[in-house]
Amino acid sequence: MSPSNQRVSYRALQSLLLKRFGMAAATYFMSLSLCWIAIFGGLFRGPLSTALASTGLVILSQLVFLALFTSGRNLRFSDPSLTEAQVLVAICWHTWLLSLVDTARGTLLVMYVLIMLFGVFQLKPRLFARCAAFAFFAFAGLNLLEAYQMRLVAPNLALLQVCALLVVMVWLSLFASYVQALRQRMRRRRFALQAHQDTLRGMMRQLEDLVATDELTGLFNRRHFLRLASRELENLSPSHQHGIALIDLDHFKRINDGHGHAVGDRVLQTFATVARGCLREGDVLARYGGEEFVLLLPNCDADRITACCERLRRAFANAELACVDVQSLSLSVGMTLVGLGDDLDDALQRADQALYRAKRNGRNRCDAAWERLGA
């Protein structure tokens, strides 16, 4: 992954974690609101200073988590979301709150469920079960401590609450395990779907290549060339012009008749190889049909297209076919220039007429449509 992508991923992760922390902070705000409702309702058995100190410490603990997230130090931990730590801290604070109330304890017991739900989608089943066990033993320990100190008001009610919390924690642990298993299945299915999509995209690219490419020479076919050339002409600026050349391999029928079609195929492949070495990146060469090829040179003038075609003609004349005795290889070229507003069919017609003159004048030469216009 590139550094820029890493920075984007880092910002996205931190943004998501800060949003989750915001949800946790909102839950703390609601819990503190309930705490102060209990205080003003006379259900709090500690002094007001204890409530104020507890509220301040709760806020301080959340500021510590906020500092970890905003500074990026949370990324040093195996779980950057710090979900388990936040759940354990919340359980400690809630158990402390329950130790300061009597009759409201059963009502506030539901906050344990809210705390545990915070980790359902993030914690692994083993970690979730550990947090659930911590919540149960914290509440059970609170009741045992009060029973030992003879401060437990209603032992039967406390036993019922402990048993109810045990049932809820067990159920939540099983539910969290099911949710995580479901997420794993969904993740595997998503990966499988992505793999299928990648395979499908690869097959589509292969199909596009087959549709656009001549199988024998590996060059573009006529249909794809016409599509590319039309697009180039549409995007042509007034100050530029393109060159188009039609290329015909001389005496190709004689080679086919005298040496067989396999040798003729090798001649076509040899031309394609030679032509690739003579063209620049961005030039478009395609098999136009049979032994005829078409060339598009973007942003060129008469001198450049003439030099390119002459270079290609000489290179093909000097090419050799291994293990095949072909006396000579040559080609004829018809060239034309196209500017803004020119029609592609008209340009190909001009190039075809120039090619006809080149073959009529002895072959193995390059003729240009603008030479006839100049004459």
Question: What are the tokens at 175?
Answer: 């539910």
- As to burial, measured by CB atoms within 10 angstroms (0-12 exposed, 13-18 middle, 19+ buried), residue 112 is buried
Beta bridge partners of 213: 220
Axis crossing angle, helix 222-234 with helix 155-212, rounded to the nearest 10 = 100
Q: Among residues 234, 291, 310, 320, which one is catalytic?
A: 291
C-alpha to C-alpha distances, 246 to 217, 332, 337, 366, nearest whole angstrom: 16, 8, 12, 10
Match 């003038």 to its residue by tokens. 301
**Distance from the Cα of residue 25 to its chain's centroid:** 33
In sequence order, which residues have a C-beta less than 8 Å from that of residue 357 and are 6 or more positions away?
334, 367, 372
| 3-class SS string, 286-353 | EEEECCEEEEEECCCCHHHHHHHHHHHHHHHHCCCCCCCCCCCCCEEEEEEEECCCCCHHHHHHHHHH
Contact (Cβ atoms closer than 8 angstroms) between residue 359 and residue 252: no
* 291 catalytically annotated: yes
Which is nearest to 319 in space by CA: 330, 308, 310?
330
**How far apart (Å, rounded) are the C-alpha atoms in residues 309 and 304?**
9
Enclosing H/E stretch for 133: helix 125-148
Q: Where are the beta strands (DSSP E) in the chain?
A: 242-249, 284-289, 292-297, 331-338, 366-368
Q: Among all residues, which ones are annotated catalytic?
A: 291
